[in-house]
A = this chain, B = another copy of it.
């Protein structure tokens, strides 16, 4: 039955404050199993001129988009094969791992690897999950794949899951598991 009060410098937009409120609510609920109505959270905004740390005013920078949004944007760019857009979302040391343990550092390598595996692929998302973290956030998404096999036949409803590490607004790695091989067998 906790009360959580957050002192925040004025200026964060409502979507950002919403994500804070939801995040604190979820953590409290998950850790304490308190009944939802016993979890009260309020953000108390103070003027920038009314806040000091180390006797210095702080000028909060606009936070990056939500990690889930970054991942959605990347997946969208990849699906329409807009590699230029997709690359702007990648950290310098980005790495991918695909089923069977195939690893790539560049998107082009992935494209080459995928070419003999399917002609076209698309994802239907069932759910995105975000794991908040100090160093980086993790975003999971899972759902089903549909597309066209190399022989021109269609497939759909094949389970997949992706795991992304997001740091500073950029993707650090992507790990992929799916049932393509289980189905194709």
Contact = CB atoms under 8 A, between A and B. Distances in A.
A84 interface: no
A90 interface: no
A130 B137 CA distance: 11
Interface in A35-66: 35-47, 49-56, 58, 60-61, 63-64, 66
A23 B29 CA distance: 11
Interface residues of A, number: 89
B132 A31 contact: yes
A5 B8 contact: no
Contacts of A137: 30
A150 interface: no
Contacts of A66: 31
A155 interface: no
A24 interface: yes
Contact of A1 (B28, B53, B97): B53
Contacts of A46: 42-45
Contact of A163 (B60, B67, B133, B161): B161
Contacts of A184: 185
A140 B179 CA distance: 18
B25 A134 contact: yes
Interface of A: 1-9, 12, 14, 16-47, 49-56, 58, 60-61, 63-64, 66-67, 97, 99-101, 129-134, 137-138, 140, 142, 157, 159-161, 163, 168-169, 175, 177-185
